[in-house]
Amino acid sequence: MSTIMDKPEITMDVFEKHESKVRSYSRSFPTVFKKAKGYKLWDVNNREYIDFFAGAGALNYGHNHDKMKELLIKYIEEDAITHSLDMATMARGEFLKKFNQVILKPRNLDYKVMFPGPTGTNTVESALKIARKVTGRNTVISFTNGFHGMTIGSLSVTGNASKRGGAGIPLNNSVFMPFDDYVDSGSSLDYIEAFLVNSSSGVDLPAAMILETVQGEGGINAASYEWLQGIEKLCKRFGILLIIDDVQAGCGRTGTFFSFEPAGITPDIVCLSKSIGGYGLPMALTLIKSKYDIWEPGEHNGTFRGNNMAFVTATEALKYWETNNFSQEIAKKSEMMSAFVDFLVHEYPQLHGEKRGRGLMQGVACKNGEMSEQICENAFKRGLLMETSGPEGEVFKFLPPLIIDEEGLEKGFQIVEDSIKAVLDK
């Protein structure tokens, strides 16, 4: 039978002609992709690309992981159930058991698992809802440069002005506070406390605070563990629920399964998506402390809560977390990345570079968005996928699959450096 691989080639004009102007990545990476494996992709011209983008964090385990692939095909071949809303299925049950056994139990986490619909914005929306329901309050505190999704609830706690502008209505019931280190003169924690402690501050006692420990879209800003602890303390003191949006920074991206583990904090609600499915299939979870799981049946729902194919690969992916080995590997590669970032900042002063990030989620804030975008464009031409981050796109961002090997990292770094040179030489 004829397959995608045999088809006459699709060209870029198909997308220009038929697809809405809203499309974005087909502009940054203007080629038609065909195949992918591990940390590599190939386009229709069989050109190879190293992946420092990883599906914006959805491909921590790489493209088309062999073991997951095998299980997935088997599952499909056997006509095991594919679509099931939130009915009970074998695949869903296996995932729940494994998630409890490998992730929750060893960390002493008493969370109920909610399947909120298979996207990041859906887990965020469900988290905001349950926090408001539990507390009976409206306001949610969010943070500068935070990014949580494109539906109105999530967008209300997202900082980016152009995304916000897309709403077409005022975005309300949220208050933005400075993220860690946001203002040079003065402490974010002091600032937030001053608003909470004073009943005339104009900031109503919030239902929740929502934050990313490392801001993936907002500039790879990593919160210090002290700051995270301070936030948790404030939340406890004022009876505010703490929501960690671990959609991009979770699933091992910063070295531990949950990004907040090294900070020693325990959020009341955790949002997971992107890499939780393992293979890049749509899936999301909302973890809710048992005592706050006061949902009515069906109070939040959605058609694709039962993406069983994703449950199959997600369950397999959890095996990475049965021992510490994976974390240790990530740590090792993170050090390589960190050294490379340091090198760039010092070696190329014209970058006006500033180191950003943590784990395998690092980047360099450079002079301006133009420079950073040129570097990414240049890298693409040299065979590397990499995107910018930050309010002005001023950060170029390294987000390879976590399973990348040292060779892959080094190849990627070389392309980055070559691209920087090319851009700075112009």
Chain residues 320-339 in contact with a second copy, contact rule CB under 8 A: none
Query: Collapsing DSSP states into helix, strand and coil, what is residue 292?
Result: helix
In terms of Cβ atoms closer than 10 Å to its own Cβ (0-12, 13-18, 19+), residue 63 is: buried
Beta pairing partners, 150 = none
- H-state helical runs in 248-399: 308-317, 325-347, 369-381
Helix (H, G, I), strand (E, B) or coil at 420: helix
Minimum CB distance to a second copy, residue 171 (Å): 8
* Part of the chain binding a second copy (CB under 8 A), chosen from 112-120, 229-237, 332-340, 411-419: 112-120
Q: If residue 354 lies in a helix (H) or strand (E), which one and from where to where? A: strand 354-358
Q: Which stretch binds a second copy (CB under 8 A): 36-44, 222-230, 236-244, 334-342?
A: 36-44
- HSE-CB for 386 with a 13 A CA cutoff: 32
112 binds a second copy (CB under 8 A): yes
Question: In this complex, which beta carbon is closest to a second copy, that of residue 33 or of residue 348?
Answer: 33
Question: Minimum distance from CB of 143 to a second copy (Å)?
Answer: 8
Residues in 45-64 that interact with a second copy by CB under 8 A = 55-59, 63-64
* Residue 411 interacts with a second copy (CB under 8 A): yes or no: no
On the 0-12 / 13-18 / 19+ scale of CB atoms within 10 A, 346 is: exposed
Cβ contact 40:51 at 8 Å: yes
Alpha-carbon distance of 121 to 124, in angstroms, equals 5
- Only one residue has tokens 């936030």, namely 231
- 125 scored as a contact of a second copy (CB under 8 A): yes
Binding-site member from 30, 106, 239, 264 for a second copy (CB under 8 A): 30
Residue 109 is a binding residue for a second copy (CB under 8 A): no
Q: CA separation (Å) from 323 to 9, 256, 326, 327, 402?
A: 44, 11, 7, 8, 16
Judged by CB under 8 A, which of 45, 190, 407, 426 binds a second copy?
190
Least CB distance from residue 126 to a second copy, whole Å? Answer: 8
Q: Which of 143, 257, 260, 320 binds a second copy (CB under 8 A)?
A: 143
CB 340 to a second copy: min, Å = 25
* Sites for a second copy among residues 271-290 (CB under 8 A): 273-274, 279-282, 286, 288
**Choice from 45, 46, 108, 169 touching a second copy (CB under 8 A):** 169
186 near a second copy, judged by CB under 8 A: yes
Question: Using CB under 8 A as the criterion, what x/- string covers residues 197-226 for binding a second copy?
Answer: -xxxxxxxx-x----------xx-------
* Closest residue by Cα to residue 268 from 248, 301, 294, 249: 294
> Which one of 307-315, 326-334, 370-378, 408-416 is the stretch in contact with a second copy (CB under 8 A)?
307-315
In whole angstroms, give the CA distance from residue 345 to residue 348: 6
Are 114 and 285 in contact, with CB atoms under 8 Å apart? yes
